[in-house]
Chains A and B, each alone.
Chain A
Amino acid sequence: MLCERCKIREANIKYTEIINGIKTEHNLCSHCAREMDFGQYAAILDGEFPLGKLLSGLLGLEDDEEETDVRGKVVCPTCGTSFDDFVENSRFGCPDCYGVFDLFINDKMKQLQGSESHKGKHPKFRSTFEKEHPDVSRAKGEDGQEAPDIPEAKQPGDGTRSAAVNKQIRELESRLKDAIEQEEYELAAQCRDQIRELKKEA
Chain B
Amino acid sequence: MGRWYDSVDNKSSNIVYSRIRLARNWDEYTFPSRMTREQCGEMLERMKDGLKDLGSLDGKEYRYGQLDEMQDLEKLALRERRILNLSAVNKKEPAGLFLSEDEGSSLVLGGDDHIRMQFLASGLKLDELWHQADVMDDYVNERFSYAFDEKYGYLTSFPTNVGTGLRACVVLHLPTLSQVRKFQSIVGDMSRFGTAIRGLYGEGSDNYGSLYEISNQRTLGQSEREIVELVTKAAAQLNNQEMRVRNATLNTQRLEREDEAYKSYGVLKYARKISEKDARIFISQLMAGEEDGLMKLDKKYSLYSLIIGIKPANLNLWAKRPLDKDEMDAVRAAYLRQNLPEIADK
Residues of A with Cβ closer than 8 Å to B? 12, 55, 59, 78-81, 89-95, 98-99, 105, 109, 112-130, 144-145, 147, 149
B320 located at the interface, meaning its Cβ lies under 8 Å from any Cβ of chain A in the complex = no
Residues of B with Cβ closer than 8 Å to A? 25, 27, 29-31, 33-34, 134, 137-138, 141-142, 145-160, 162-164, 166, 194, 206, 218-226
B-chain residues with CB within 8 Å of residue A123 when the two chains form the complex: 141, 145-146, 148, 154
Of the residues B30, B146, B223, contact of A79 by C-beta under 8 Å: B30
* Contact between B149 and A145, CB atoms less than 8 A apart: yes
A109 CB → nearest B CB, Å: 6
* Contact between A109 and B159, CB atoms less than 8 A apart: yes
B222 CB → nearest A CB, Å: 6
A83 CB → nearest B CB, Å: 13
* Contact between A145 and B30, CB atoms less than 8 A apart: no
A2 CB → nearest B CB, Å: 15
* Contact between B149 and A95, CB atoms less than 8 A apart: yes
Main secondary structure of the interface of B (DSSP, over half): loop
Of the residues A92, A121, A125, contact of B159 by C-beta under 8 Å: A92
* Contact between B34 and A93, CB atoms less than 8 A apart: yes
A-chain residues with CB within 8 Å of residue B219 when the two chains form the complex: 113
* Contact between A125 and B145, CB atoms less than 8 A apart: yes
* Contact between B221 and A118, CB atoms less than 8 A apart: yes
Q: How far, in angstroms, from A127 to B147 measured CA to CA in the complex?
A: 9
- 3 smallest CB-CB distances across A and B, nearest first, come from A115-B221, A118-B153, A127-B145
In the assembled complex, 15 residue pairs joining A and B whose CB atoms fall closer than 8 Å, in A order, are A79-B31, A94-B30, A109-B152, A109-B162, A116-B220, A117-B153, A118-B150, A120-B166, A120-B224, A120-B226, A121-B137, A121-B224, A127-B27, A127-B145, A129-B145
Tell me whether A93 and B152 are in contact in the complex, defined as CB-CB below 8 angstroms, given that A113-B162, A117-B220 are known contacts: no
B2 CB → nearest A CB, Å: 32
Q: How far, in angstroms, from A101 to B345 measured CA to CA in the complex?
A: 66
* Contact between B27 and A119, CB atoms less than 8 A apart: no
* Contact between B159 and A124, CB atoms less than 8 A apart: no
* Contact between B30 and A113, CB atoms less than 8 A apart: no
B157 CB → nearest A CB, Å: 5
A-chain residues with CB within 8 Å of residue B141 when the two chains form the complex: 123-125
Q: Which residue of B lies closest to A81 (CB)?
A: B34
B-chain residues with CB within 8 Å of residue A93 when the two chains form the complex: 30-31, 33-34
* Contact between B222 and A115, CB atoms less than 8 A apart: yes
A110 CB → nearest B CB, Å: 9
Q: How far, in angstroms, from A116 to B222 measured CA to CA in the complex?
A: 10
Q: How far, in angstroms, from A81 to B35 measured CA to CA in the complex?
A: 12
* Contact between A114 and B194, CB atoms less than 8 A apart: yes
* Contact between A116 and B159, CB atoms less than 8 A apart: no
B8 CB → nearest A CB, Å: 32
A140 CB → nearest B CB, Å: 11
Tell me whether A120 and B142 are in contact in the complex, defined as CB-CB below 8 angstroms, given that A90-B158, A91-B157, A112-B160 are known contacts: no
* Contact between A124 and B164, CB atoms less than 8 A apart: no
Q: Which residue of A lies closest to B147 (CB)?
A: A95
Tell me whether A113 and B218 are in contact in the complex, defined as CB-CB below 8 angstroms, given that A118-B163, A127-B27 are known contacts: yes
B-chain residues with CB within 8 Å of residue A78 when the two chains form the complex: 30
* Contact between A116 and B34, CB atoms less than 8 A apart: no
Which among B34, B150, B223, B224 has the greatest number of chain A C-beta atoms within 10 A?
B34
Of the residues B25, B33, B206, contact of A95 by C-beta under 8 Å: B25
Of the residues B138, B142, B152, contact of A118 by C-beta under 8 Å: B152
Of the residues A80, A91, A118, A124, contact of B220 by C-beta under 8 Å: A118
A-chain residues with CB within 8 Å of residue B145 when the two chains form the complex: 123, 125-130
B266 CB → nearest A CB, Å: 25
A-chain residues with CB within 8 Å of residue B134 when the two chains form the complex: 121
* Contact between B27 and A121, CB atoms less than 8 A apart: no
A-chain residues with CB within 8 Å of residue B162 when the two chains form the complex: 98, 109, 113, 118
Q: How far, in angstroms, from A78 to B25 measured CA to CA in the complex?
A: 15
Q: How far, in angstroms, from A149 to B225 measured CA to CA in the complex?
A: 26
A-chain residues with CB within 8 Å of residue B155 when the two chains form the complex: 92, 95, 98
* Contact between B153 and A120, CB atoms less than 8 A apart: yes
